[in-house]
A = this chain, B = another copy of it.
Amino acid sequence: MVRRRKVNNMLGLAVLAALAERPMHPYEMAAVLRERGKDEDMPIKWGTLYTVVRNLEKYGFITVSESVRDGSHPERTIYQITREGRVEFADWVRDLLAEPQREQPKFMAALSVWQVLGPEEAMRLLRQRLTLLDAEVADRRTTLMGYAGDLPRIFLVESEYGLAMREAEAAWIRSLLDELTTGSFPDLGAWREWYETGRLPSEVRSPTERGEQSD
């Protein structure tokens, strides 16, 4: 039902997950997340972490369990999850799992305006992206293999998903590039002409011109 959550930031989910295990102070949460490599896909912003923790407390999802002065170090505030917090946590995960929530992908935004670059440059950039993507895929596949022996599968599906999506994107780009290089992509000539001369060949009408009112 995707109802807007009190605490919306994804870091909040990570905090709840960490506290579901055992009480911790914020800095420790960050350390735990980093240790498990979660920060690769979701870098921990300090400001956000403390804001999120404060808000989770405000809404009763977590409470202060104790405030320790460790002799040295500044005072650390240790938080624990509440019953409401556990409910919210599970509920949140449920929503995220069941509802495909599209966050606007930047690449898609770029593709919606890629005509401003000429076909040659677009192809060059796509090739560059593909190279980087392939490297990422190889890298992730290796680390995944490395973990595969140590960790139960259930902790790996996340990485498997990330890998699968990257592979899918790479495959898509590959096929687009293929069309562009073999020339089987229609309107390539028109695109090039428009880009070089600034004028559209008569056989192609862009949606821009269609949409334009003559006022």
> Number of A residues contacting the other chain (C-beta, 8 Å)?
76
Choose, from A57-65, A71-79, A103-111, the stretch at the interface.
A103-111
Judging by beta carbons under 8 Å apart, are A109 and B154 in contact? Answer: no
How many copies of this chain are found per oligomer?
2
Chain B residues positioned under 8 Å from A176 (CB to CB): 157
Return the chain B residue nearest A155 by Cβ. Answer: B207
Chain B residues positioned under 8 Å from A46 (CB to CB): none
For the complex of A and B, list the 10 residue pairs with the smallest distance between their C-beta atoms, beginning with the closest. A168-B168, A96-B110, A98-B125, A111-B158, A97-B125, A112-B158, A98-B128, A152-B187, A164-B172, A42-B104
Extra pairs beyond A94-B121, A112-B158 (14, CB < 8 Å): A13-B110, A13-B113, A17-B112, A35-B211, A96-B107, A103-B103, A108-B158, A111-B158, A151-B207, A152-B206, A154-B191, A155-B206, A164-B168, A165-B165
